[in-house]
Amino acid sequence: MKILVVGSGAREDAICKSLQDSDRFNDVFCAPGNAGMRLFGIQTVDIKETEFDKLANFAIENDINYTIVGPELPLVEGIVDYFNEQGLKIFGPNKQSAQIEGSKIFAKNLMKSANVPTAFYEEFTDFGLAIEYIEKKNQYPIVIKADGLASGKGVYIVDCLDTAIDILHSLLVDHKYDSTKVVIEEFLAGEEFSLMAFVDGPNFYPMPIAQDYKRALDNDEGLNTGGMGAICPVQNIESNVVFEAYKRVLKPFVHEMDAQGFGYKGILYAGLILTGDGIKVIEFNVRFGDPETEVVLPRLKSDLSKVIDTLLNGETVDNMDWRDDGVDLGVFVASKGYPENPDIGKDIGTKEQFQSCRYNLNFASVIENSTNLISDGGRLYCVQTHANNIQNAKDKIYSYLEDINTDNVFYRSDIGKNSI
């Protein structure tokens, strides 16, 4: 089969490698992809993820069997609708459904209709009214979220009024992340985990749960990022809790979408937290999570290309087999200054060095010169491995990372700490 993956990050790298690991001998392309992917035989295509016409033309001209969309932006902007109008197969939710990630207010209202447990919330477009609400609430910490897309960086946990004022000013007055609306919601304390599922209308097929680490620094300190690493499975979340998430979150939400005529086909991501009052939803996303994908897909024993082909044909997936032994761990290496001011344009290692790495590498914001890979954004690459237990996985990855040059990069040294 010929398959096109849209996106340029480590998530898309992991999807491509999973598609390549097939007895179908898939011919996999990634648009636009990145220089790191090419080191491992992934064919990149110089088309941006929002150039829908060029992507569709590439699919037509190259007899692509179907396209998979990795990042949220093209989904929110309607790439699935565009491809469908051209008669092209594409795996991902349509523009209406993508509002679940494109607007936190939309998602909250849908959760309310589905009776899915989540934090209490209020929405604001007015700077002054938002401050008045926080003053009246006088409850800290509290969470402020930009309503639209912010690449995982538009969520703030606020512990005092002065900080809240600064953040609200940046979002509602300065319009950081192009935000014109915010959600102010209850801070939920507990153990977080991620649950992804393949969805086709009323049917859903859960993946193993994972846990990602959003804060930039060790001990969950520093600013929120797009994710500094992940582990799968999550040893400190019991199986009965996972089944409860199927019953109280996935099933009612998927059925509510179907009842409202969304025609949802793609990946649904639930960011969950186990609180003292039970499971609650932090957020829903409409695509594979990043960095969760980098540690979840290596556990899939079934053929990913066949699973997606089956769903696109409207057929039932009879069996989806997942590895149930050991753990998978992934640690991101990022540019110094990330997430606010990543230091780009720096050498991060030779191509030969990366190609000889004995662990799996999923690349993100990198470009190349004749001999080296160069930083071109915040998160650069994820080092991933499988091991019998978490300590063995940590020993493997961190022994490798201890030998890299950290003049221009950094990484967290405690990924997987919750599972030890």
For residue 158, give the CATH number of its domain: 3.30.1490
- Counting the structural domains of the chain, the total is 2
Q: Write the DSSP string, 74-114.
A: HHHTTHHHHHHHTT--EES--HHHHHHHH-HHHHHHHHHHH
pLDDT tens per residue across span 91-106: 999 999 999 998 888 9
d(CA 387, CA 325): 9
Do 69 and 144 fall within a single domain? no
* Span 224-230, average pLDDT: 95
Closest among 151, 157, 322 to 242, alpha carbons compared: 322
CA 1 – CA 76 distance, rounded (Å)? 27
- Phi, psi for residue 170 in degrees, rounded to 5: -65, -35
If we measure between CA atoms, which residue out of 146, 133, 111, 126 comes closest to residue 224? Answer: 146
Do 78 and 140 reside in the same domain of the chain?
no
Mean pLDDT of 299-321: 96
Read off the CATH number of the domain in which 78 is found: 3.40.50.20
User: What is the pLDDT confidence band of residue 420, given thresholds at 50, 70 and 90?
Assistant: low
| Mean pLDDT computed over 319-327 | 95
Q: Which helix (H) or strand (E) holds 139?
A: none
285: its two tokens: 């996303």
Residue 153's pLDDT is 66
Considering the domain architecture, whether residues 83 and 140 belong to the same structural domain is answered as no
Give me the domain span that covers residue 154. 126-180
Residues 10 and 71 in one domain: yes
Does some domain include residue 149?
yes
Question: Does residue 116 sit within a domain?
Answer: no
Same domain, 15 and 84: yes
Encoding tokens for residue 182?
């915010």
Task: List, as own/partner pairs, every contact residues 44-48 make where C-beta atoms lie below 8 angstroms and the sequence separation is at least 24, other chains included.
Answer: 45/4
Average pLDDT over residues 147-169: 85
In a domain, 28, yes or no: yes
Determine, yes or no, domain membership for 320.
no
Q: Let me know if residue 288 belongs to a domain.
A: no
Asked whether residue 8 falls in the same domain as residue 69, the answer is: yes
Average of per-residue pLDDT across 240-257: 97
Tokens 């290496």, residue located? 333
Q: What is the pLDDT of residues 116-137, one digit of tens each?
A: 999 888 889 999 999 999 998 8
Beta strands in 171-308 (DSSP E): 182-186, 191-200, 203-206, 211-212, 215-217, 221-224, 229-232, 265-275, 278-285
Please say whether the beta carbons of 214 and 156 come within 8 A: no
Longest Cα–Cα distance of the chain, Å, equals 61
Does a structural domain hold residue 90?
yes
Tell me if 408 sits within 8 A of 348, measured CB to CB.
yes
Residue 151 domain-assigned? yes
51 in helix, strand or coil? coil
Can you give the C-alpha Rg of the chain in angstroms? 21
Residues 71 and 25 in one domain: yes
pTM: 0.91
Any residues with CB less than 8 A from the CB of 149 and at least 6 apart, and which?
A: 72, 73, 76, 101, 102, 177
Whole-angstrom distance, CA of residue 140 vs CA of residue 46: 47
Tell which of 180, 199, 220 closes a domain. 180
Q: Is residue 307 part of a domain?
A: no
Q: Are 159 and 89 part of one and the same domain?
A: no
Query: Residues 327-337: pLDDT tens digits?
Result: 999 999 999 99
- 73-82: average pLDDT: 98
Tell me which DSSP letter residue 207 carries. P
Residue 151 has pLDDT above 70, yes or no: no
Residues 84 and 138 placed together within one structural domain of the fold: no
